[in-house]
Amino acid sequence: MERTGLARIDLAGSVARVTLSRPDVRNAFNAALIAELRAIFEELDGRDDVRVAVLCGEGKVFSAGADIGWMRASLELTKEENRRDAEALSDMYRTIDRCSKPVIARVHGAAIAGAAGLCAVSDVVVAADDATFGFTETKLGILPAVIAPFVVAKIGVSHARALFLTGERFDARRAQVIGLVHEVVPEANLDAAVERIVGELLTAAPSAVAAAKRTLREVVRAGYDESREITARAIAEQRTSAEGQEGLRAFLERRKPSWIAR
């Protein structure tokens, strides 16, 4: 698709910074931004030169959720049109969730409704200590349906029941306690915290990272007996891969593996 500029990619070496770029409306979602994010992460998934993606927002907040104009337009949509709209949103989340590259969300200001869903599909979430979160859809007479599979996988049914039904906003510390956020730091330290995590990821083998993400998804979906075959196959494939062989040889020879920049 042709880029709209509602989100942009900036590359620094093997790190892609994906920025929501609608600061005039607090980086709120509309159909165009949703399509653009999906296209960006489809592209990143297939790029061998990218090893990490950092997702962030331009301006004062990460994202305030749905765009008011987009929500107003939905009043005129039929049930079928609303369903297609929701499926497009779900496909965006699924593309980020399945991306073979590790995704770090850098959250400042607020991550409300659909933006909290972006946190749920990111692998690592770092938030400013004054950031605000919320699954606020019920306050508007709707519900956080599309993001539900990803949020429940992240924070569990118990926390989702409390927060989905009340629609209450909550702070970064609570977000960390329930597992939506992994690290909370002063906003001035956000970039340093993200860079430290990026550094850790760049010491891990790219194919091993992708395989770990894929195996986690498969194990979560599998039953107890199925997981034996899934995990045995995954480790056997990785051990016999070029990177698996290189990593073990590097360890035994007391040197850095080839994927770590000299």
Cα–Cα distance measured from residue 183 to residue 166, given in angstroms and rounded to the nearest whole number: 25
Q: Which amino acid is at 10?
A: D
Question: In the numeric block, which tokens belong to residue 10?
Answer: 């900036």
CB 131 within 8 A of CB 107: yes
Strand-by-strand arrangement of the 183-185 sheet: 7-12, 15-20, 52-57, 103-107, 124-128, 183-185
pLDDT at position 76: 82
Residue-wise pLDDT tens digits, 79-134: 898 899 899 999 999 999 999 999 999 999 999 999 999 999 999 999 999 999 99
CATH architecture of residue range(s) 7-202: Alpha-Beta Complex (3.90)
Residue-wise pLDDT tens digits, 199-237: 999 999 999 999 999 999 999 999 999 999 999 999 999
Question: In the numeric block, which tokens belong to residue 97?
Answer: 């969730």
Q: Which amino acid is at 2?
A: E
Distances (CA, A) of 32 to 6, 87, 98: 8, 14, 21
Cα–Cα distance measured from residue 14 to residue 209, given in angstroms and rounded to the nearest whole number: 14
